[in-house]
A and B are shown apart, each in its own frame.
Chain A
């Protein structure tokens, strides 16, 4: 599968950015976090809503949020907190059919699982770029 768009070594499109990742499936989180770190980002990780809220105390540039967290929680409280702080974010969900309305109400870019890692990096770059015009907007 040569078309997988993973950043090679030396290519660090997220260098200098601190990214919050909230994702309850630890295997998926493992893959995402390593990829983002390889892309130069500093990753702050929360595996549930409580941890995600705790991580908000850190200085964040952008966030990638799994919409459903655990059995009954969603990332909505984190969304509100990020909006209040002016931190851009991208939603990541494997459940678009069931969560369609919740997601469209949030009004943020959405990535559908399973998602190519290159697209995640690109979406995070775009989110940062649109939040701070003139800031990192390189799409190497």
Chain B
């Protein structure tokens, strides 16, 4: 018995591990700067809820991830992408 990542006990070898699509290289790494107005580009690096994907999944370098962070924050500020998708404000 080994501990699963979600904290529950799990038999070794049993149960399928979640397959995360991994890319060694991200297209963003090739860009000198990331245009914050290009929301279609940014959306590739966001979850459905609008959070920035970790770079272990996207394959961004640390530098690229910083640029992405800046671009996403700018785009959020000017209401091009939302801070949080699917949140309903209580009346």
A and B bind: no
Interface on B for A, CB 8 Å cutoff? none
Residues on A lying within 8 angstroms of B by beta carbon are none
